[in-house]
Structure 1
Amino acid sequence: MSDVHDRETRSRNMAAIRSSGTRPEMMVRQGLHRAGYRFRLQDRRLPGRPDLVLRKYNAVIFVHGCFWHRHACPMFHWPRTRQAFWQDKLTKNAERDQKAVTRLTEAGWRCAVVWECALKGRNKKAPGLVIEILSDWLTSDLPRLEIQGESGAAD
């Protein structure tokens, strides 16, 4: 099946997709800031360049898009065009995510992942609930946290 856009339009669409400052990331940032948490953004010195770094809590938070990070949820669908390209790209993204979390954990960081489906779509959680879950995790000793939409379980 061919693409519905010509090369220029597709290129322009793909270039407009941001890696930071996305709506889900902004929801998490604003909610945590209102709750009194202070953080740094996109620390390039850390593996995986976490979206939020809370040194006081020795914690990092990733806000992952379900498509780009290959989350097994209703929001993720394999593209129908250029399947080999997308399988390779998205698989490498997921592997890189796992390596980053492993390296961060080995370095003593606590890691949380907030999936896009937790904040968008039919199965989303209330934004206040996501912030409450993150806040509870930050003040705990738990090393890992994963928050996803209602259709899947959260650890």
Structure 2
Amino acid sequence: SILKVESIVTVAEAVGFYYKTTGIWHKTNPMPRNMNLHFVNSNESWIYFINDGKTGVFNNDGKLELDFIQTSVTSAREKKYGKHPTQKPVQLMDHFVELLSNPGDTILDPFMGSGSTGVSSVKSDRKFIGIEISEDYYNLSRERIENLTTPG
């Protein structure tokens, strides 16, 4: 996983993005796949870049914010709108979108998957650019974002 993060940072910096930080998303209820063979994967890395300057936005209202966030994985109720094997919960994306951008800013997700970042961005009055290698997931994400289909 470290090599993958380093590779992403190298490519992003080569095209002009400024690397800010990396952190951990801890899943409070991970899938116990292959638990008799190896550790259960309960953490994923996240990476934050900006493309204009080196400071970026940090809407923490004076509160301590750690580079570690805990949420549950995407609920079955929400997952029916995305249908992606590694779908992220909109609640998780809301945390980053609201903390690291302002209304009117543009959010880029180069690994769009099910479109959770796009849903969060659009409902928070941000512009969104999503890139997805799979045409099927791209179309699903586009429809999801255009319809702003979120549970509750």
Q: Normalising by the residue count of structure 1, what TM-score does the alignment of the two structures yield?
A: 0.35
Q: Indicate the structure with greater helix content.
A: 1
Q: Normalising by the residue count of structure 2, what TM-score does the alignment of the two structures yield?
A: 0.35
